[in-house]
């Protein structure tokens, strides 16, 4: 009895998804984080850290001697990221916190990394950015990433499929969150599916 076309297609899709989650996405995260210019000894906040996908590359960038704090408002995410940090022996403190009221003093971090929630914040986006700016040291690096597909990608079959699953892929890049007069590097990452805004706090 042969394998049906349907089974082959299912296995192929599963293989592609597994490779993306295991290899491609972590490699993209490393590439973006390596371009932030972090150095050993730096303190970094992984903002809305979710399952902790940014933690290993952030720790690699600030080791030896640095520290990473991670926060998320979901207890399940905090538990998952804490477990990951323990399993991989990463120098990370994970805590439950709200992005609109961060539990850190002013100018606490050399860098703040945010991936994947700013689009959901709606009219709270500026409040979240004000908090990120507050806890970043003057001259510190802020990196904001979220869904934001290029026009070319949106016109492809893959792009249309993703937009159907999640219309936020069509959200414009929220460049208005960068403080007036500040130069920001704005780019598309992850196969033109996400935007990346990087700037230094004045």
Its sign, for the CA torsion 162, 165, 166, 170, is: positive
Answer for which of 95, 98, 187, 192 binds ligand SAM (CB under 6 A) is 98
**Euclidean distance between CA atoms 192 and 177, whole angstroms:** 21
Q: Which residue of the chain is nearest ligand SAM when measured via CB? A: 50
Q: Is residue 45 a contact residue for ligand SAM (CB under 6 A)?
A: no
Return the half-sphere exposure (C-beta side, CA atoms, 13 A cut-off) of residue 200. 8
Parallel/antiparallel/unpaired status of strands 109-115 and 43-47: parallel
From the list 111, 117, 144, 162, which residue makes contact with ligand SAM (rule: CB under 6 A)? 117
Distance from C-alpha of 36 to C-alpha of 18, rounded to nearest angstrom: 27
Query: Which span (50-58, 61-69, 172-180, 185-193) binds ligand SAM, by CB under 6 A?
Result: 50-58
Of 120 and 150, CB closest to ligand SAM: 120
In the complex, what is the shortest distance from the CB of residue 161 to ligand SAM, in angstroms, rounded to a whole number? 18
Give the shortest CB-98-to-ligand SAM separation in angstroms. Answer: 5
* Nearest by Cα to 190 from 41, 14, 54: 54
Site string for ligand SAM, 65-84 (x = CB under 6 A): -------xxx--x-------
With CB under 6 A as the contact rule, which of the stretches 61-69, 112-120, 134-142, 158-166 interacts with ligand SAM? 112-120
Q: Which two tokens stand for residue 88?
A: 């991989």
CA-CA distance, 199 to 180, in Å (whole number)? 12
Question: Which residues would be at the binding site for ligand SAM (CB under 6 A)?
Answer: 48-51, 53-54, 72-74, 77, 98-99, 115-117, 120
């Amino acid at each position: 009895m042969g394998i049906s076309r349907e089974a082959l297609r299912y296995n192929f899709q599963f293989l592609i998804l597994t490779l993306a989650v295991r290899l491609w996405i972590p490699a993209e995260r490393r590439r973006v984080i390596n371009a932030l210019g972090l150095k050993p000894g730096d303190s970094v906040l992984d903002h809305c850290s979710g399952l902790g996908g940014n933690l290993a590359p952030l720790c690699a960038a600030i080791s030896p001697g640095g520290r990473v704090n991670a926060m998320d408002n979901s207890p399940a995410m905090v538990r998952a990221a804490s477990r990951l940090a323990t399993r991989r022996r990463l120098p990370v403190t994970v805590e439950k916190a709200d992005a609109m009221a961060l539990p850190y003093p002013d100018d606490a971090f050399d860098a703040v990394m945010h991936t994947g929630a700013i689009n959901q914040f709606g009219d709270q986006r500026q409040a979240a950015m004000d908090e990120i700016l507050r806890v970043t040291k003057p001259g510190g690096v802020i990196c904001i990433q979220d869904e934001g597909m290029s026009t070319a990608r949106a016109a492809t079959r893959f792009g249309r499929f993703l937009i159907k699953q999640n219309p936020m892929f069509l959200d414009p890049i929220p460049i208005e969150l960068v403080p007036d007069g500040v130069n920001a590097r704005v780019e598309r990452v992850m196969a033109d599916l996400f935007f990346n805004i990087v700037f230094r706090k004045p």
